[in-house]
Each structure stands twice: as C-alpha cells, then as structure tokens.
Amino acid sequence: MSARKTHPPTQESTTRPRPPSKVRSTVWLLVSALIVLFAIWQVNADWSRFANIFTEAPRYIALMGQGVIENPFTMPWSEYWTKSLALMIESLQMAWIGTLIGAVLSFPVSFLAASNTAPRVVVIVTRQVLNIIRAVPEIVLALVFMIPIFGLGPLAGAMALGVGSVGTLGKLSSEAIEGIDRGPLEALDAAGASKLQQLRWAVVPQVLPEIVAFWLYRFEINIRAGAILGIVGAGGIGSILDQLFNAREWGRIGLTLVVIIVVTVIVDQISAKVRQRIIAGPGAPAAAKQVRERVAV
Amino acid sequence: MSTPATTDRAPTDQPPADRPVKPPPSIGTVVGLLVFAAISVYAAIGIEFTLRPLWEDVNRGREIVARYFDPNWAILTRPAVREGFLETLYIAIIATLVGCLIALVCAMLASKVSAPNTPVYRITKFVLSVLRSLPDLAWGLLFVAFVVNPQLSGVLALTMFNIGIVAKLTSESIDAVERGPIEAVEAAGGSRFQRGRYAVLPQVAPNYLSYCFYVFEINIRASAVLGMIGAGGIGTVINILVSRLQHEDLAAVVYALVVVVFILDQASRAVRRRLT
Amino acid sequence: MIEFRDVSVTYPNGTKALDGVDLTIPDGQFVVVVGLSGAGKSTLVRTINGIVPATGGELLVDGAPVAAANRRQLRRLRSQVGMIFQSFNLVNRTTVMNNVLTGRLHSAGFLRSMFGWFSGADKEVAFDALERVGILEKAYVRASQLSGGQQQRVAIARGLAQQPRIMLADEPVASLDPPTADAVMRDLQRINRELGITTVVNLHFLDLARRYGDRIIGMRAGKVVFDGTGAEADDAVFESIYGRSLTAEDVVEKKAGPVA
C-alpha cells in the first residue's frame, strides 16, 4: 500500500485511451431495429398462422413425397414425369436464348457504360438506363411488353429474360472493362490504331473471359426466372406449377418441384465448372501442368 | 530517312519456310464452340424463336403497348395501391432480416473453414443448393398453400429464398478468409465458437452486411411479383389489373414500381459502397 | 528529323513538365535521355508522337508540326513512330503474334482489323520483327507465359512491325534484371544500327546511358541541362544533372559501376 502511495506520477501516465465513440453504430442499429419493428407491426400478417408450418405443411409434404415415390413407369405417373421434364427443358431453352439475347444486346452497351471507353455523359446516361432495366422484374416485363408483342408462350418469356438480363450484364461487363490494364491501350494509341481498333485489340482480349463468365452466371439466374414466367403464360414449367397448386394435386407438385431442383442443380454445377475453366483460360491448365512436371523433376 | 526502314525483304516475297505454323485451336475450344452452337440451335427451335412479331404482328402489340404510354396516374392515390406498395416494403424488410440471420448460421456451417466437421459442411452445402434452385415464386406457391395468409406466406417465401443466396455468398467469403487470425485464436485456447466470433466474423462482416443489402434489393423486386400468386404486396393489385385488362392503370402502377425499386436500389447501393 | 523549338508542356494541374526545350535529333541517331524521375524525360518522349500534346513552342517531326495535326494526321504520324514502355503494355491473354500484329493495325482496314484477318504480308512483317529480336519460335505462345525480358522483346517487335522511322522507349529496362536489361538495350542498339531507325530512349542508369548512347541529353526540372556524347558525360556531368552525388542505385551493374 505504501508502495502505491510513493508512485503518484505513474497514475497520470496510466490514463487509458478512451474507446472511440460508438454513438454512430448504436444509432444505426437502433434505427434499423425500429424500421423492422415498425414493419412487423404494420404488415398485418396473421402470425398465428405460422403454426400451420408444423401442422399443415408436414401433411402436404408427405403427399408430395408420395407423388415422387410412386412408380414413375406406370400411368399416369410416367406421363406426369415426362410432361414436367419437357416443360423444364422448355424453361432451360428460354433461359439459354434469353441469356444469348442479353449477351448480344449488353456487349456493345457495356463499352458505353465504362468510364475508360466512353465519354462521361454517355456513361452516366447508359448507367441510369441499365439501372432502370434492372429495376423491372422479368415477370412484369413479360406481362406488360413481351406477351402483347410475341403472344403467349416461351418466345415472350425468352424475350423478357433477354431484355431483363441487359441491366445486370451491362453493369458487370462495364465494371470488368473499367478494371483493365491501361498499358495496352496506350501502346495501341501510340501505334496509330483507331479508337475502335483499340477496343478490339486492347480491351476485348483482356475482358472477354470475364464477360463470358458473367453470361454463364446470368444463365444460372435466368434458369430460375425462366421456371416461373409460365405463371403469367410466358412458357416453361411455371405454367403447370400454377395450375397444379390451384388444383392442389400434391403428388404432381412434388414431382414437378423435384424436376426443377434436380435439373437446376445439375445445370448449375456444369455452368460453374465451365465458368472456372473460362476464367483460368486455356493456357492456364497447361502452365499448371508444366509447373507440376517441373516440380516432379 | 524517307523510305520505310524495317526490312530489306519486300513483304510480298514468298515467306521463308522457317515461319512457325499457327497451332490449330485446342480440342476444348472446338468442342466448346460446337456444343454452344448445338444448344443454341436446339433451344431456338424449341421455343420457336423468331423476331418476326417485332415488325409483322407489331400492330397487335402496338395497341396495348400504346396504352402504356398513357398511364392513369390517378390510380396511385387509391388506398389499396398505396397499401400494396407499403406491404411490399414491409414484407421485404422482415424477410431480409430473418433470412439474413438464419443465413449467417448456415454460412458458418457451409464453409470448410468454420464448419465443425465434414459431414455437416457437405449436408449444409447440399441443402443450400436445393434452397437456391427453387425460384422465389415457387416458394411463394408453397407457402400460400401451407399458411394461407398472404403476408405471412410472402415473408416465409422470401426468407427461404434469401437464406440460399446470402448463405452461399457469405460461405464463399468465409472460405477466402485469412487463416492467420484463426490460428491465433486457436493458439490462445479459444473454443470453436470463439474462433468463429473473433477470427472469422470480423473478417467477413463487411461482406456479409453488403450481401444483406443486396438481397434486400432483390426482395423488393421479388415481393412485388409475389402478390401475383397471392402472397401479398403490390403484386396483388397488379394481378387484379391484369385480369381486368386495365392497362392504363397497370401502366401507372408498373412505372411507380420501377421508380420505387430504382430509388431503394440506389439507396441500398450507396450503403453497400460505404460498407466495403 | 525531330526538331523541338522552344517546346513547353504544362499539364492541366499546372505542373510544368517541359520548359523551353530546344533540340534537333537527326535521322538514325541513338539518343539517351537521362534525368531524375519527374525531370520531364517521359514527357519529352511522349510529345514526339503527340500522346502528350505540347502546349507551347513548335515540334516538327520530319518537317510536319505535331501540334497542328488533326486526328487522322496524328494517327499517321504515330504509325511511323514505334513506342516501347517500362511495363511492356502487352495484352497478356492473347498470343505473342496477335500482340505484334497490333503494330500493323494502322494499315488494316475496318473488317480486317475487327475480325483479325491480317494479310499474309502483314504476318510476314510481324514474323520478321520477331526474328529480329530472336523470339520467332514464341509466335503462338501466350504473352503471359513469357519472361519479362521476352515480353519486352515482344513489345520491341510490335514497334518494329509498324515499320517505323523513329523508335521511342520510355524506361524500357527499368523492370528488368541487369543482364536482361543489357540484352534488351543491345537489341535496341542493333535495330538502330541495322535499320537506321532514329531511337530515343529514357534511362536512369548512367552506365547503360554511357554504353549505348551516341548522344546523351540530360534533363532537370523540364529543361535540357546537358547535351553531348557519351564520352563527355562523366560523373561530374551526371552529378550536375541529378543535382546530387551519385550512388550505387544509379547504375545497373553494381560492381562494374563507376561509383562502386
């Protein structure tokens, strides 16, 4: 005790740094909590119905499971499976063509939306147009514009997916373009190449793998979007899904969902593999092999 | 120096034999392009692809599309429409919160870095890819059948939808986390939970929050259409207007929807930019 | 012939990079520009092909004023001036051949250049350029798989493929190790001797400057402070150009360097 008394100056030097103010983060947290509470209070959802998840849902799920495990080679189940699979394939076709349309439309647009390849004003305008396209749900696009023009069916769906894809694809691609190494551009400028030639030989080779990977990524998203467009009559498996739920044919609902899940998961896996391959580039596996061989030697 | 300097050989001369031959494109590239072309042709035939309606049947569409250029703005003042928009917003907010909280736990289980053991990691990954394979409206149809109440089914559908997306993105961020801090907490005798809380979470927190705002943007769009199948929100109004063929009214609602989504998108992205 | 008449360059942010430069570089000369970073070497080189526009004075390349050139004339001028960069500026994801062929773009028509249908003559020019820098066998290898020295040779071949009358090089060896740097400088010198291409090289290694420059131009704060032969440029001259005493950092080969 006496020792402590003999060292009064230490007290001053041991003042601890004060922690930085937490006011900002606390305020943010409170505001967010208030927003959520307000939403819960206002939404007039019947929360008691949540109990149905434990009472009703298991019964329906069991019914769905029965449909899945029925012998698929007997009528009418074989026909149900074939029908669902055929419609899912139609959804995939819509997604593929939609992605293709989106790719073709967004490729030139992305150069207009990149600040290193287009003038400022053009970039700002193009970006806002892309943002507006992104804001429109595909299903609304199908309902409002594509079905009136192309009629009911998968063509309208593919068109809706195509136009809908331009928003994200244009944005992602333009960001890839903005991320390029400027060196080759400068070199081509110094070699007397025109603006268009500079894009073709300095920008495109640098960004094409990324952009193609974005196309595949968008294809994966479009599979999901294409699976529901049928609800408004724009083709694909969505059309039958809506009818089945209205008719409460749980067995068929079950097998249709299984078809959607299995096909989507498989196509996702393939697409992801191809994307990795494209990003790594054809030279990369060879180079990696060379390294491995060198290590082995 | 007035003559071009490079070569003493005129370029039109027969090239010498020792020039390297351009290697043929790799088999992978050729096969890839062939598969691409085959699928494209197959898909185009499958959906009977044609652009002809754009100029031939355009009159059929023109009449309807023209009505979209003459929106009936008055409908936006109706209470049902206003409530529809608010409901969409509420559903999106609640689903984002619930979905993101569950997703954080799932993400921890779905990354090799933070999962307790391999079976848990495998199973979680599989469940998540199943969750992600069902589109938002399919979840909507299911929950409308399960719980009947439109708003609640909207919230549940979007929650399931969000878990798949946020958990996948976050688990990928966790995969890419620096291993050093984890080792440090382990070396200091930290438990599995402490490892996640003090070594993993601080590293992925900005990304995770950014993903939460990202799904909020998706949710606004999704909950707007969920109403079409009876899961609450402005979609209910859109569905009614479509069935009544009130295109002028529909136009006003759709434009308002686009504006609302656009504004919330921009706000959310401004927040995201500050997070990362 | 390149003529600088009282040329000045002021950047938009107010930096004066060149300040009243007067220079005449006759055809076929091998000129090395030395100076500290920020002394205006890069600007000097870049004004010659108009990548950096001169804001004052007059700059003539083969009698034609650079500043007065319109877009098309500027492209024609640039097609006659090859340029080599410190960071090579190759497109790594494509082949060496495609990189070299970009040197032929100035003479390729729209369709040819969009689809990459280069003529046999263009390809032969590219092969010939690759042969001159000794990496012909790498023509169809991806640029990313080459070493730094090989990449800089590809960049030289790209410049040669333009069939230029002038070759500019901005710190071409700054990213290379000493033996490779020396080899690349030898390539540049050989091309200058064999083809008579006027060559202007920026360097900051004084031993390389002495060894390869027919003529050395010293720059400091945007002004030419020395102009003479390599033999005249002794350590005292370099110290006055650099405004400080020399260190081991100023030479490539530390042991053989004059100040080691």
Q: Which residues pair with C64 in a beta bridge?
A: C61
> Which chain A residues are within 8 Å of C106, Cβ to Cβ?
191-193
Tell me which residues of chain B, numbers 109 to 168, contact chain A at a CB-CB cutoff of 8 Å: 129-130, 132-138, 141, 144-149, 151-152, 155-156
Residue C29 falls in which region: left (phi positive, over 0), alpha (psi -120 to 50) or beta? beta
Query: Residue B262, Cβ neighbours under 10 Å: how many?
Result: 17
> Which chain B residues are within 8 Å of C121, Cβ to Cβ?
11-12
Asked which of A57-61, B76-80, B175-179, C245-249 is least confident by mean pLDDT, the reply is C245-249
pLDDT at position A297, please?
28
In this predicted structure, the answer to whether residue C241 has a pLDDT above a threshold of 80 is yes
The answer to whether B91 and B155 have CB atoms below 8 angstroms apart is: yes
What share of chain C has pLDDT > 90, as a percent?
59
Query: CB distance C128–B18 less than 8 Å?
Result: no
Q: Measured between alpha carbons, how far is residue C207 from residues C45, C87, C151, C152, C240 in Å?
A: 20, 21, 23, 20, 16
pLDDT class of B6 with cuts at 50, 70, 90: very low
> Which chain A residues are within 8 Å of C163, Cβ to Cβ?
none
- Residue C84 corresponds to which tokens in the numbers above? 């080599």
The answer to whether B155 and B223 have CB atoms below 8 angstroms apart is: no
- Cα separation, B213 vs B100, whole angstroms: 10
Closest by CA to B46, choosing from A96, A133, A121, A240, is A96
Residue with token string 């609902």 = A253
Query: Residue B5, Cβ neighbours under 10 Å: how many?
Result: 22
Other chains touching C, judged by 3 or more CB pairs under 8 Å: A, B
C61 by DSSP, 3-state: which?
strand
**DSSP-assigned letter for residue A146:** I
pLDDT at position B74, please?
86
- Cα separation, A261 vs A251, whole angstroms: 16
Residue with token string 């495609």 = C98
The distance of C114 to chain A (nearest Cα, Å) reads: 6
Residue B34 falls in which region: left (phi positive, over 0), alpha (psi -120 to 50) or beta? alpha
pLDDT at position B112, please?
86
- Cα separation, A161 vs A167, whole angstroms: 11
Query: CB distance C105–A193 less than 8 Å?
Result: yes
Give me the domains of chain C, ranges plus CATH numbers: 2-250 (3.40.50.300)
The answer to whether A227 and A237 have CB atoms below 8 angstroms apart is: yes
Other chains touching A, judged by 3 or more CB pairs under 8 Å: B, C
In this predicted structure, the answer to whether residue B24 has a pLDDT above a threshold of 70 is yes
B205 burial class (0-12, 13-18, 19+ CB within 10 angstroms)?
A: middle
**Regions in chain A scoring below 50 on pLDDT:** 1-3, 283-297
What share of chain B has pLDDT > 70, as a percent?
91
Listed in sequence order, the residues at least 6 apart from B225 whose beta carbon sits closer than 8 Å to its beta carbon are: A137, A139, A140, B136, B137, B235, B238
Q: What CATH code is assigned to B77-275?
A: 1.10.3720.10
A297 burial class (0-12, 13-18, 19+ CB within 10 angstroms)?
A: exposed
Query: Do the interacting molecules here have an ipTM over 0.90?
Result: no
pLDDT class of B42 with cuts at 50, 70, 90: very high
Other chains touching B, judged by 3 or more CB pairs under 8 Å: A, C
What architecture does CATH give domain A83-279? Answer: Orthogonal Bundle (1.10)
- Cα separation, C229 vs C238, whole angstroms: 13
Q: Measured between alpha carbons, how far is residue A237 from residues A37, A84, A157, A244, C69 in Å?
A: 38, 7, 11, 11, 62
- Cα separation, A213 vs A276, whole angstroms: 8
Residue C58 falls in which region: left (phi positive, over 0), alpha (psi -120 to 50) or beta? beta
| Domain boundaries along the sequence of chain B | 77-275
| Domain boundaries along the sequence of chain A | 83-279
HSE toward the beta carbon, residue B35, CA cutoff 13 A? 9
In this predicted structure, the answer to whether residue B57 has a pLDDT above a threshold of 80 is no
Give residue-wise pLDDT tens across range C77-94: 999 999 999 999 999 888
Tell me which residues of chain B, numbers 75 to 114, contact chain C at a CB-CB cutoff of 8 Å: none
C42 by DSSP, 3-state: which?
helix
pLDDT at position B9, please?
46
The answer to whether C23 and C57 have CB atoms below 8 angstroms apart is: no
For residue C78, the surrounding DSSP H or E stretch is helix C71-79
The residue ranking higher by pLDDT, C34 or B197, is C34
Interface residue B19 vs chain C (CB under 8 A): yes
For residue B256, the surrounding DSSP H or E stretch is helix B247-275
Query: What's the mean pLDDT when you consider all of chain C?
Result: 89
Interface residue C163 vs chain A (CB under 8 A): no
Query: CB distance B7–C163 less than 8 Å?
Result: yes
C245 by DSSP, 3-state: which?
coil
> Amino acid letter at B52?
R
The pair phi, psi for residue C224, each rounded to 5°, is -80, 115
**What torsion, rounded to 10 degrees, do the Cα atoms C19, C22, C26, C29 define?**
-50
> Amino acid letter at C199?
T
Q: At what angle do helices B150-175 and B79-109 cross, to 10 degrees?
A: 40
Give residue-wise pLDDT tens across range C175-220: 899 999 999 999 999 999 999 999 999 998 888 998 999 999 999 9
Closest by CA to A252, choosing from A237, A235, A236, A231, is A237
Give residue-wise pLDDT tens across range A175-206: 999 999 999 999 999 998 988 999 999 999 99
- Residue A177 corresponds to which tokens in the numbers above? 């373009």
Residue with token string 């390149």 = C2
C6 by DSSP, 3-state: which?
strand
pLDDT at position A129, please?
93
**What torsion, rounded to 10 degrees, do the Cα atoms B77, B81, B87, B89 define?**
-70
Residue with token string 């060896």 = C173
